[in-house]
Structure 1
Amino acid sequence: MLWQNWTTISEFIIVGFPGLHSDYYGLVSTVFLLVYIFTVAGNTFFLVLFVTSESLRKPMYIILASLALSDMCFSTVALPKIIAKYWFNDGASPFHACFFQMQLIHYFGTLNSLILMIMALDRYVAICYSLRYQTIMTHRLMYIFNITAWISAFIAPTIATLHTQQLPYCGPKLIIHCYCDHISITNLACAENSKQKVLAVGEALFVLLVPLAFIIYSYCHIIVSVMKLANAQSRWKTFATCSKQLCIITLFYVPRCVVYVASILQFQISTDFRILLILLYSLIPPLINPFIYCLRTHEIRKIVIRWLNKQRVIQETARINVIAM
């Protein structure tokens, strides 16, 4: 059945928070813009450090560089349209552009889940097989893991997008969200869409729960290994090393689990609160990731301090030369 021929709309309208009063549109758009600027700036800063510093060419930093690039891309896909909606009252998104955004939104969400799983694997090997870490986690293997994640993350979102795009859309066209996502678009279809919803939820739970199960498994082994250490200082240092990853993992997975569990159990939560939860797990980790890793990683702090000192010396030299002239 060619449902595409039944589609009579040419665009969707991004609504954002349906309960938000228009008096606050300027404030909300400013907040979103600042989040976007700091996300792009922070992740770009980390990527520049990674590319220009030989000392960062280590497996863990390869993972962080991959995560930084993914976070920056996700924010670039998700935020500009909602900023335009609240700033310029431009919430219109062309039909195919909306599906393209949906594809990328779910692609980068899946990719981040896979990258966090690789990060947990790296910490698992580093702590549980510390003597063999250098031989197991080679640069080549880490690049293979990350490239595989970037490629395989396309599978589930592409299947969901193709199935959803085949549905007919003849109105309404208001997307009650801050960007085009699968559930919001599917709810607007003019035909039976239960199969698409079940497929989408199944795919979302698969890309969410499989990496999460591995992460929980690996960190359980890490905790057991750390508790076996005789030196309390060594235990604390190891836990501190993993705390950054656990913080990001918690922010990424816990709100997602709340949203999915509420949906499966048909627990009623307000639309605005649901959107807020989704934005929390979508936008906060990309915003704070580079700051957590840059400010709490001794090696990166040393590189930044060395770079700042170098710039200070260059400025002092330039000032002296100007005076001498």
Structure 2
Amino acid sequence: MQETPFCLSVGHLLSFTMSDSNSTDVTNPSTFILLGIPGLEAAHVWISIPFCAIYAIALLGNFAILFIIKTEPSLHVPMYYFLCMLAVTDLVLSTSILPKILSIFWFNSREINFTACLTQLYFSVSFSTMESGILVAMAFDRYVAICDPLRHSTILSNPMVTKIGLALVLRGVILELPYPFLARSLPYCRTNIIPHTYGEHIAVVKLACADIRVSSYYGLSVAFFVVALDVSFIAVSYTQILRAIFRLPTKDARLKTFGTCGSHLCVILVTYIPALFSFLTHRFGHNVALHFHVLMANMYLLLPPMLNPIIYGARNQQIRDRMLQPFTHKGT
């Protein structure tokens, strides 16, 4: 039987094409086949090295952040509670996709259950939304700490921090819940081959042999709403922060105060710039190679979990001193 145009367009793993199932309606296929990074299959083993390093650093760094904050009473304040939320989000986000990616690279384990694929899809979008919301909460914490420091402990009390965290979780869970249900409702009768490393939303729904505009428009609307709303809140917070900083009498005081925001600003850039770059290349980079699209879709999910603990570990003196404490004790 003649191969499908889709398979010809990606041009690999012909042994995985479902020549028999291409001609039959499969409303919910039992499994999908993940190609990995199309066009770079021969280099998968080499590509796995940085991916594995990213995952190892993300695990060690975020668990270290959680351990340090838990065991250090002086860090039991709102800023570090939000940092704990960020660390947990990063751990779930990276663990939801990286083990499967590495199994593709190392063991050629390309099959993924249909339900597992949709679960991957849901976790990647929902926890990305939670992470964006946590950055807003951290910006609000910096705003209160700098613009209204005397009321900081009153405004951001432990119950309030808990409510903010719960609201961010519910926002991510509810806003992204239609994604897997919309994807599941579509009929898949062309192919079950996904030219990607994980169950990415657009890569999955493009396999459907039905109108995907509802799913596509919903995904675009939610992404635009979340990013526009969160970036706006962050921008307003930092506008007020900068106004307060410029009112300080000395340059040293201004630099010291602004330095308390440095880690958060770096994390914002690490989170939003790769995501924006991936979004723009996906929507407008029609002439960009497929493997580049896939790599960008991986990087915007994998880089923040690796870099966030490094940023806070390098820039935050309390966390840095706590991390270096075992080594400094050995040297004395």
TM-score when scaled to structure 2? 0.87
* DSSP-derived class of the 2:32 partner: strand
Q: In the aligned structure 2, how far is the partner of 1:8 from the partner of 1:116?
A: 37
Does 2:273 match 1:254? yes
Q: 1:45 maps to which residue?
A: 64
Distance change >3 Å, CA 6–CA 26, structure 1 → 2:
closer
Task: Select the residue among 39, 44, 65 that pairs with 1:19.
Answer: 39
Q: In the aligned structure 2, how far is the partner of 1:109 from the partner of 1:263?
A: 17
Does 2:94 match 1:75? yes
Task: Select the residue among 56, 62, 73 that pairs with 1:54.
Answer: 73
- Tell whether the 8 Å contact from 2:31 to 2:114 is kept in structure 1 after alignment: yes
Q: Counterparts in 2 of 1:288-307, with a 5 A limit?
A: 288-307=307-326
Q: In the aligned structure 2, how far is the partner of 1:304 from the partner of 1:8?
A: 49
Task: Name the aligned partner's letter for residue 179 of structure 1.
Answer: Y
* DSSP-derived class of the 2:177 partner: helix
- Tell whether the 8 Å contact from 2:263 to 2:316 is kept in structure 1 after alignment: no
Task: Select the residue among 183, 188, 197 that pairs with 1:164.
Answer: 183
Task: Name the aligned partner's letter for residue 17 of structure 1.
Answer: I
Q: Counterparts in 2 of 1:16-165, with a 5 A limit?
A: 16-22=36-42, 24-165=43-184
* DSSP-derived class of the 1:9 partner: coil
- TM-superposed deviation, 1:63: 0.4
Task: Name the aligned partner's letter for residue 173 of structure 2.
Answer: F
- TM-superposed deviation, 1:248: 1.1
- TM-superposed deviation, 1:310: 5.8
Distance change >3 Å, CA 128–CA 267, structure 1 → 2:
farther
- Tell whether the 8 Å contact from 2:266 to 2:311 is kept in structure 1 after alignment: no
Distance change >3 Å, CA 293–CA 92, structure 1 → 2:
same
Q: In the aligned structure 1, how far is the partner of 2:163 from the partner of 2:125?
A: 22
- Tell whether the 8 Å contact from 1:255 to 1:280 is kept in structure 2 after alignment: yes
Q: 1:197 maps to which residue?
A: 216
Distance change >3 Å, CA 140–CA 307, structure 1 → 2:
farther
* Stretch moving more, 298-307 or 205-214: 298-307
- Tell whether the 8 Å contact from 1:170 to 1:189 is kept in structure 2 after alignment: yes
Q: 1:211 maps to which residue?
A: 230
- TM-superposed deviation, 1:307: 4.6
Q: In the aligned structure 2, how far is the partner of 1:195 from the partner of 1:62?
A: 38
Q: In the aligned structure 2, how far is the partner of 1:107 from the partner of 1:252?
A: 15
Task: Name the aligned partner's letter for residue 31 of structure 2.
Answer: E
Q: In the aligned structure 1, how far is the partner of 2:82 from the partner of 2:326?
A: 23
- TM-superposed deviation, 1:265: 4.8
What runs of 5+ residues in structure 2 fail to find an aligned partner? 1-24
- TM-superposed deviation, 1:309: 5.3
* DSSP-derived class of the 2:229 partner: helix
- TM-superposed deviation, 1:304: 3.3
Q: 1:180 maps to which residue?
A: 199
Q: In the aligned structure 2, how far is the partner of 1:277 from the partner of 1:289?
A: 18
Q: 2:29 maps to which residue?
A: 9
- TM-superposed deviation, 1:302: 3.1
Q: In the aligned structure 2, how far is the partner of 1:226 from the partner of 1:241?
A: 11
Write the deviation string for residues 180-239 of structure 1: whole angstroms up to 9, x where unpaired: 011111100011111211111111211222111111111122122212222101111122
TM-score when scaled to structure 1? 0.89
Task: Name the aligned partner's letter for residue 116 of structure 1.
Answer: L
- Tell whether the 8 Å contact from 1:17 to 1:177 is kept in structure 2 after alignment: yes
Q: Counterparts in 2 of 1:206-245, with a 5 A limit?
A: 206-245=225-264
Q: 1:317 maps to which residue?
A: none
- Tell whether the 8 Å contact from 2:262 to 2:315 is kept in structure 1 after alignment: no
Q: In the aligned structure 2, how far is the partner of 1:115 from the partner of 1:286?
A: 13
Q: In the aligned structure 2, how far is the partner of 1:311 from the partner of 1:150?
A: 41
Q: In the aligned structure 1, how far is the partner of 2:55 from the partner of 2:202?
A: 24
* Stretch moving more, 268-277 or 176-185: 268-277
Q: 2:19 maps to which residue?
A: none
- Tell whether the 8 Å contact from 2:32 to 2:192 is kept in structure 1 after alignment: yes
- TM-superposed deviation, 1:179: 0.9
Write the deviation string for residues 270-312 of structure 1: whole angstroms up to 9, x where unpaired: 2222222222221111101112112221112333344555677
Aligned length: 308
Q: In the aligned structure 2, how far is the partner of 1:191 from the partner of 1:237?
A: 57
Q: 1:321 maps to which residue?
A: none
* Stretch moving more, 250-259 or 31-40: 250-259
- Tell whether the 8 Å contact from 1:11 to 1:95 is kept in structure 2 after alignment: yes
Q: In the aligned structure 2, how far is the partner of 1:42 from the partner of 1:255?
A: 20
- Give every structure 1 segment of 4 or more consecutive aligned residues whose post-TM-superposition deviation is greater than 6 Å: none
Q: In the aligned structure 1, how far is the partner of 2:34 from the partner of 2:218?
A: 24
Q: In the aligned structure 2, how far is the partner of 1:199 from the partner of 1:28?
A: 33
